[in-house]
Structure 1
């Protein structure tokens, strides 16, 4: 992605946050933080307080799972909750098409169209959580309740 594309993704996230009445608390970091562990280290928070925005295919349709960085997503639990046959990790191309953002920086907001979303209840264990802001070097501070509201997602235990 060009720097203009990255700026556009970041600005779409910022607009999504502000449009939803959320504080613009995007923090741009000096280096990329493509993993929950790297983000937690940089931000000085527990890895479980990192809200990973992961895109899956649920019977072919995009599904956003905002998962705690402290565990892996149990796709069988997600499929049972949704009442679909299969949930599988999406390809980078599918992720970009659904979100307009690249893997490693996907945000829970700022997508071209709303995505069906599950928000991991494990994030509620943390008074503040950090989510990607559309690029791999930016994060924003929020709460579990705000994530549920921002995404219109279903709170679900999705962890393995």
Structure 2
């Protein structure tokens, strides 16, 4: 896509051209992903202090309705921790206590602690993205995210944001589109 409506005041470039704006696991995954898909993936450089969604949108004139947040959720079953990435629009909240808990098949699901999420993903807190996560994690994608033509997501780093399509996110390895994932 040569023109991203959601870029606001930023200038997007193909993500593989700026690996310095990506966490290492994201850069590696994008190299593989761009070889197998025709879906566009762009990156924009941002001030790391403005990586949080609301600040990013306000500063760079990107619509909040086109931002998706990725959170790491954990639960325990039979002494084993189970993790998942949950992707919902920034204007909604993930239904961790019902939809996510049922999908993980655990008694209780909650957001993974920040240091644990950072260590397990190899990404910066506030920049965690579904691209480049551990291969055995399910990526739960809210149906509204999958249906979005353009989205802003993290790049694994606080110094960049990825511009992607919902179709790309729904096609990631391990991705499952879930109706009712967000409230």
TM range (shorter): 0.7 to 0.9
Between the aligned partners of 1:41 and 1:101, the Cα distance in structure 2 is: 24
Match of 2:26 in 1: 13
1:37-75 C-alpha deviation (Å, 9 max, x unpaired): 123234433323212110010222221111211111111
Structure-1-length-normalised TM-score:
0.82
Residues 44, 94 of structure 1: CA spacing in aligned structure 2 closer, same or farther, 3 A cutoff? same
User: Partners of 1:139 and 1:8 in 2: how far apart?
Assistant: 8
Q: For residue 107 of structure 1, what is the aligned residue in structure 2?
A: 129
2:140 to 104, 107, 118: 118
- The answer to which of 147-156 and 25-34 deviates more is 25-34
Unaligned runs of 5+ in 1: 1-6
Distance 1:17 1:23 in 2: 11
Partner of residue 48, structure 1: 65
- Whole-Å Cα distance in 1 between the matches of residues 118 and 50 of structure 2? 18
Larger CA Rg, structure 1 vs 2: 2
Distance 1:113 1:31, change over 3 A: same
Contact 1:128 1:143 in 2 (8 A): yes
Deviation at 1:25, TM superposition (A): 1.1
CA distance in 1, matches of 2:133, 2:100: 21
Question: What TM-score results when the alignment is normalised by the length of structure 2?
Answer: 0.73
Tell me by how many angstroms 1:20 deviates: 0.9
Question: How many equivalent residue pairs?
Answer: 155
Cα RMSD (Å) = 2.4
> Who is 2:101 aligned against?
79
Equivalent in the alignment of 2:182: 159
1:10 is displaced (CA, Å) by 2.5
